[in-house]
Amino acid sequence: MKKYTLLVSLLLIACSWGCQEEERGQIPLDNIPPGQVTSVSVKNVPGGAIISYTIPDDKDLLYVKAVYKLDNGTVMEQKASAYSNELEIVGIGKSAKQMVQIITGDRSKNESKPLEVEIHPQDSPIYDVLRSMEIQNDFGGIRVTWENPLEMEIIIDIDTLDQENQYTTAGTFYTKTAIGKNWLRGCSPIEQLYAVSIRDRWGNTTDTVSGLYQPYREEQIDPERFRRWNPPGIPYGCYTIYHIENLWDGNYLSEFLTSTSGKLGDSFTFDMGQLAKLSRVKVIQFTGNGEWAFGYGNMRSFEFYASPHPNVDQNEDTWIFMGAYESNKPSGLPVGQNTAEDIELARNGEDFMVDISLPPVRYLRFKFLRTWGGVNYLDFCELELFGVPVEE
């Protein structure tokens, strides 16, 4: 019995030694640090610099890294593999000289002595974007346009004054579009101060540009005056009982289904029953229980035409071109896969903005080019129009 107890104890001790945590990763090969990079050159660019170099002749070289500081004092590291001969410094806000440490590292976890290199980045692109920005009065708010030729990821913040005369965020746009345009909606048609600034993901922020703007009044165009109407060359078509009147009946469960024998590029038309200067079109999708959102016969891309008079036909030259539009799915997931945000947008409606410079119109034409489900017919629930009625 004593021999058995002793044997068990020895086994437990051996297991304990074997289970002790060992250092993970590459087993050190030596303690000799790699050489420094040579033939260093610097190209200063907006918001950073590109540092080129020749790597040292070390067979176990693993990486080259740069250590530097952002404008707010945060220490940053950028790494490049041993197969690259350049490093990119990013995240700098305002142009200023700075010493960057270039360090090489090997597979034995040795690092070289830092090599100091001077850089002098240009101002971040956010400042050029701000200088290009234009703000204009628009229906129900303001319209903001900008140029971002480097397609940098930026955040545009719009602030207004609250009742206590304190700045409060009214809207935020996340974008990397080269030629950008967006709208702040839901504002009262009174003159008030709007302040706009731009920031990036490294915490750099521009100064604030502010001014007084007065949004134009916006209302929903009365759907009770809408009626079925078709000009010469554009026949009416629907599938069985799913008529076009379902688009303005206020029932989000009814739907307009075009003829299944139709084709992409077909149009549907109707008369608003009144002249109106339009600000936006809201499309409410057919979603079922959520599975049909951004799928089936919901419009994915379309062209919008209109006219103040009924003397038009199938020839597009007889109409006013109001715009070309593309439906955007928030998640970006493939068709058939939807997030809660996707379904919410599909049910509440997706807005398509109308250029404020376009004239008042009455007769509308929608030419559908693609559906989300790839089918050759449309199937969606409601179409709401916003703007201001005009006396005829």
Residues 75/91, Cβ–Cβ less than 8 Å: no
Average pLDDT on 119-141 reads 95
What is the sign, positive or negative, of the torsion defined by CA atoms of 139, 142, 145, 151?
Answer: negative
Predicted confidence (pLDDT) per residue in 208-234, tens digit: 999 999 999 999 999 999 999 999 999
Q: Which residues, including other chains, have CB under 8 Å from residue 2's CB and lie 6 or more apart?
A: none
Output the pLDDT for position 11: 45
Q: How confident is the model at residue 391 (pLDDT cuts 50, 70, 90)?
A: confident
Q: Which residues, including other chains, have CB under 8 Å from residue 1's CB and lie 6 or more apart?
A: none
Q: E strand or H helix at 44, and its extent?
A: strand 38-45
Output the pLDDT for position 378: 95
| Residues across the chain | 392
Q: Residue 119's beta-bridge partner residues?
A: 98
Q: How confident is the model at residue 14 (pLDDT cuts 50, 70, 90)?
A: very low
Predicted confidence (pLDDT) per residue in 135-181, tens digit: 999 999 999 999 999 999 999 999 999 889 899 999 999 998 898 88
Full-model pTM: 0.73
* Rounded Cα–Cα distance for residues 175 and 157 (Å): 11
Output the pLDDT for position 262: 87
Output the pLDDT for position 23: 38
Output the pLDDT for position 27: 52
Query: Between the CA of residue 125 and those of 204, 358, 374, what are the distances in Å?
Result: 10, 33, 39
* Rounded Cα–Cα distance for residues 119 and 297 (Å): 55
Domains of the chain, with CATH numbers? 38-119 (2.60.40.10), 125-213 (2.60.40.10), 219-389 (2.60.120.260)
Residues 51/102, Cβ–Cβ less than 8 Å: yes
Output the pLDDT for position 211: 95
Q: Residue 154's beta-bridge partner residues?
A: 175
* Rounded Cα–Cα distance for residues 352 and 308 (Å): 20
Q: How confident is the model at residue 12 (pLDDT cuts 50, 70, 90)?
A: very low
86 has pLDDT over 80: yes
Q: E strand or H helix at 3, and its extent?
A: helix 2-19
* Rounded Cα–Cα distance for residues 15 and 217 (Å): 79
DSSP 50-71: EEEEE--S-TTEEEEEEEEE-T
Q: How many helices (H) and strands (E) does the chain have?
A: 3, 23
Query: Between the CA of residue 295 and those of 112, 237, 334, 373, 380, what are the distances in Å?
Result: 56, 21, 10, 4, 10
* Rounded Cα–Cα distance for residues 331 and 304 (Å): 25
Output the pLDDT for position 163: 87
Output the pLDDT for position 226: 98
Output the pLDDT for position 13: 44
Predicted confidence (pLDDT) per residue in 226-284, tens digit: 999 999 999 998 888 999 999 999 998 899 999 888 899 999 999 999 999 999 999 99
Query: Pairing between strand 179-184 and 167-175?
Result: unpaired
DSSP 238-260: -STT--GGGGGSS-TT--EE--T
21 has pLDDT over 70: no
Output the pLDDT for position 28: 60
Q: E strand or H helix at 231, and its extent?
A: none
Q: Which has the closest alpha carbon to 226: 186, 264, 281?
A: 281
HSE-CB for 10 with a 13 A CA cutoff: 6
Which tokens in the block code for residue 322?
């109001």
Output the pLDDT for position 261: 87
Which residue carries 């304190």 as its tokens? 166
For the chain, percent of residues with pLDDT exceeding 90: 83
CB atoms inside a 10 Å sphere around CB 305: 20
Which tokens in the block code for residue 275?
């002249």
Output the pLDDT for position 19: 44
Average pLDDT on 96-123 reads 96
